[in-house]
Structure 1
C-alpha cells in the first residue's frame, strides 16, 4: 500500500493517522467538522436564508462541509429563522433519482437512531423544534429536514458532527471570531454579510 485516502469522521481519521504514521506512507484525510455560519446584522435575509438552507440540506446534509450551526445576529434573528424555515419546508422529499426531489435517504441506518436521540435531547433541554424532527416511513433511511432554534451548547446536536438533513440557529451578537474560535475542527466556517450577497 503506497497511500491511504479517507473521507469521514474526525474520530476515525485520528485512528487511521495513528495506525499509518509509523509506516511513513502518503495519507490524505478529509474529515467532517461541526461547521458554523455567522449571519451578520446587515444581511439580505431572504438571500441568506435560501443560500444557507441549500448549504444545510444539500445531499441530505451528508456533505462534510454542510452548514450545521447558524449563529444569527440578534437584530435579524427572527426574520432570518422565519425565512429559513420556509425554505426548508419547501424542499421535496423523495427518490433522489427524481429531479423534483431535494431530500433523499441517509446512507446508514444507525444515523436514524442517533438523530432521534439528538432531537429528544435538544427538546428535553429547551430547544424549539421548528421543522421536521422525525424519521419517515418509506423503505430506507429517511429523516425529515429538521430545524431547531433556542439551542445551546449543552445539547448533543450542537457539538456532535453527523450526516443529517438538519441544522440549528441561535441569536448571537458576539461576532464571528469568538464563535469560530470556539469551534473544534470545523471543516468550513462562513460569514454572511449583505455585501457577500450582492
Structure 2
C-alpha cells in the first residue's frame, strides 16, 4: 500500500495554505509532518482525510481496498478528542464501533491496551485530558483501518502514555499500516519527515 500526494494545493478562506506539496508513505512506514504553527500541517491531514477539498494536485492510495474510498480506509485523530461526554468510556467505543463498521476488535481489550480499562463505566466527561487522548487512541484500535492520520497525537500524554502510543503505533506499522502524523514533538518511533512551510 502506498499513500502519495503530487502537487497538493489547498486554499482556505481565500488563502493558499499548501502549494505544490509532494509526499509518499508506504505500508509499514510513518511520516512525521513538521513545521511552524500555522504552516498547514493540520490542513494537510484534513485534506487527506477528505474533510477539506483539494484545490489542486492529487492524493492517491495504491494497494488499498478498491471498493472503498481513501476516507473509508483512514482514521483521523484531530486536536480535539471526538468523545461524547455523557456516555461512558465503553459506550463511546461502542458508538464508534457501530458508526465506523469494518474490522472490529474487542473494545474492552482495547481499553486495557491503552491503560484505562478501570474507567470503562466512567462518563467520558470525568476523564483527564490524558485519559481522553488514551480513549481516542483506543478508537484507532477498536475499528482497524490501515491509515492513521494523527494531529499532535501525543498531546496531553504523560511519559508513560507517550511510550504506550509509540508501542501501539509500532504494532500498527508492523501489521502493514500507514501513519501520517503532524507533530511538534518526537513520536518515539522511526519516521520519515515532511517539513512544510508557509502560513494558514
| TM-score normalised per structure 1 | 0.35
Larger Rg: 1
